[in-house]
Amino acid sequence: MPGSKTFFGKYHSKEYINERRHLRGLLGYYIKYIPMSWGVRLGLSSGILTRYGVELTPNVFDATFRMCCEGGYGTFLSSYMVDYEKPFIMLDIGANQGLFSLLAAQNTKCQQVIAFEPVATTFQLLEQNIELNLATSRIKAVQAAVSDHAGQARIFLSKTHSGGASLSQSTVHSSDKTEEIETVSAQQLNEMITDDVDVVIKLNAEGHEETVVKELIKTNFFPQVQAIFYERDVRWTDPNMLKNLLEEQGFKSFKRVGKEPRLDVLASREADEA
């Protein structure tokens, strides 16, 4: 039959099969978590328990929230934070709704978490989640982005992915919707960290990573930074740029998690074991 090969080929293609799997997964997610969100609104529960063991305020139609609920970030960073063995302070730059801030705060060695989230609606969720998990004494939430100047900036937002907010318009998530936010630089960061303990940083800045790292290097406490966990996306950044920059500052190990074009990197001052 004319065209039948093309017709059947379409519906048996790898792309179509993957799309069907994605839609089934999305449907299953909504069937499970929308009733849970109603339960929270009705006062039947305080929050939604995620795969990571922390509770979050319902935000069901947000992609970041879904990743938190379903364990989409894997266990590499969560295990690193929970198992860190020396006293430390965590800087969560791009904290979003607070998953990794909350996980770090569970570690008894964590002296403080400073969570930076500039977008107003996301920051509100962050504060709610800190209170929900009884972590107000361990986590300081700061409604600002880390950048190369203190003042204001415009951030580009994503309609369905709070984690896609970016100061860089070149990211794939960027849209025409923007919001004016506060920014802090090295001087303000120096005022926040005065203790002589290890510092661990989680950095999610959606294309603004180079600017943030260069500003962190200017701080008085940067020699205390033992590890930086950052996102690397070759679609909007040079894959070797941050690695070269951190190697110049004494970082020796760069463990990669995930697949191109978007993966995560744990940069550490400790060399890999032979």
> For residue 229, which of 214, 246, 248 has the smallest C-alpha distance?
246
Residue ranges per domain, the chain? 4-65, 72-268
> For residue 120, which of 75, 86, 78, 155 has the smallest C-alpha distance?
155
One-letter identity of residue 11: Y
Q: Quote the pLDDT of residue 103.
A: 97
The three-point CA angle 182-183-188 to 5° equals 120
More confident residue, 102 or 163: 102
Which of 12-26, 148-162, 211-225, 255-269 shows the lowest mean pLDDT across its residues?
12-26
pTM of the model: 0.89
Considering the domain delimited by 72-268, tell me its CATH architecture. 3-Layer(aba) Sandwich (3.40)
pLDDT in tens, 41-61: 999 999 999 999 999 999 999
Return the percentage of the chain with pLDDT > 90, whole number: 70
What lies within 8 Å, CB to CB, of 98 at 6+ separation is 56, 92, 115, 117, 125, 126, 129, 130, 139, 141
More confident residue, 175 or 259: 259
